Amino acid sequence: MKAFNIPEIYKSEFISSIKKDRQLRDHLKKDFSPSILDFGKVKIHLARHFGFCFGVENAIETAYAAIQENVGKRIYLLSEIIHNPYVNLSLQENGVRFIMDTAGKQLIPWNEISSDDVIIIPAFGTTLEMESILKDKGVKQIYYRSKCPFVEKVWTRVSQIANNDYTVIVHGKPDHEETRATFSHSRSVGPSVIIKDMEEAKMLTDIIMNRRADTDFYELFKDRYSEGFDVAYDLSRIGVVNQTTLLATDTQEIADFLQEAMCEKYNLTKDNVADHFANTKDTLCYATHDNQIAVMNMLSLEADFALVVGGFNSSNSSHLVELCEAKLPTYFIGAADDMVSADEIRHWDIHSKQLKGTFSYMPDKEQVVIHLTSGASCPDILIENVVLKLLSFYGLSLDTLQL
């Protein structure tokens, strides 16, 4: 796999040595068990896979290349390059400005952007409508290669299934940049609709199976279907693609559920299922899958609590939190500073969407055992800082690691 040129501020010699050792001993990535970091008073189960993925490293390398190649020019990102405040702040400190926030709210008016400015596309890609705006403004320098190649793979699959007369079902969060971009591309090539979860998949199935009126579709999925969508015709042949940062198991469960419905309605067998349902399993992101499987394997071990490090608006990080909190107390933190002390921790509640404070989170026992992982947009240096902060509570250092 390609080695990217990533700034030193994101790297950790300690974490890199752990990853390198695991890679040497398991280059085929068949062992998903966590790395055991035993410091005596503190034992850390570090997930086998975590941190920057291929797409994130590609985006960061591209962004810093844009900075170096355009000295003296104004450089803009359409929105956050990835969902991590440490990375985005670092880019802003290098002079990059954001045109919009992650929700699409305009931060810099378009009339301030000129054809001589430099525009970087975020890792999530962007909509065709946004590309049209940039084209109309005559922007000459646009860094498209910052898009995640796995997001582009989804778009390619979208075109393939649409060209074979399937309707595209996009499993994603409707307000997420990646889903907005994927939907923009899918509706340009064929009928499309966004569903956000299994509950909505069941609603869609009720319409497919004529258990609900066709007219219900237009209310249930308002603003999330392509123009001219014909329920009777467009739901007779479907294929499912996904927002790459979601739980892979959720997307597969939804796809399987919809396929079963199509098989029941049209009396299909495995030999002719493609008459009404497209095989789209190859759109699942390897990094999202590996990180989630690594967490599941980590959770097979006993621990006192789990720490997930990442941006609070990071979809893939929040799904790692979901997996962990189903098994044990879990704290979603942005950085080591959120661990105020051994008694107090500030953490993001993914359900209430609020920052909370918890006291006495660290148990008083002979050895505290902690699960630790991070989202695909989290730099390794933030994981090292979390480890150092945990050790500091007990007067320990990295040198006390028991090999």
**Could you tell me if 160 and 45 lie in one domain?**
no
Given 266, 284, 302, the domain boundary residue is 284
**Could you tell me if 173 and 269 lie in one domain?**
yes
Spatial CB neighbours of 314, under 8 Å, sequence gap ≥ 6: 82, 83, 84, 245, 375, 376, 377, 378
Domain count, the chain: 3
| pLDDT for position 28 | 87
- Structural domain range at position 125: 54-146
**Could you tell me if 35 and 63 lie in one domain?**
no
**Could you tell me if 258 and 174 lie in one domain?**
yes
| pLDDT for position 1 | 62
Q: Kindly state whether residue 1 falls inside one of the protein's structural domains.
A: no
Tens of pLDDT along 262-292?
A: 999 999 998 999 999 998 776 667 788 899 9
Q: Which of 57, 131, 177, 178 is flagged as catalytic?
A: 178
Tens of pLDDT along 128-169?
A: 999 999 999 999 999 999 989 889 999 999 999 999 999 999
**Could you tell me if 393 and 337 lie in one domain?**
yes
| pLDDT for position 284 | 67
Given 219, 250, 284, the domain boundary residue is 284
**Could you tell me if 276 and 356 lie in one domain?**
no
| pLDDT for position 403 | 66
| Dist. CA 379–CA 4, nearest whole Å | 14
CATH code of the domain in which 25 resides: 3.40.1010.20
Spatial CB neighbours of 399, under 8 Å, sequence gap ≥ 6: none
- The structure's pTM equals 0.90
Note if 152 is an active site residue.
no
CA distances from 50 to 61, 62, 73, 75, 289 (A): 19, 21, 35, 30, 11
What does the block give as tokens for 267? 């009396």
CA distances from 289 to 145, 195, 250 (A): 23, 20, 11
Q: Which residues of the chain have pLDDT under 50?
A: none
Given 146, 181, 199, the domain boundary residue is 146
State the amino acid at position 247 in one-letter form: L
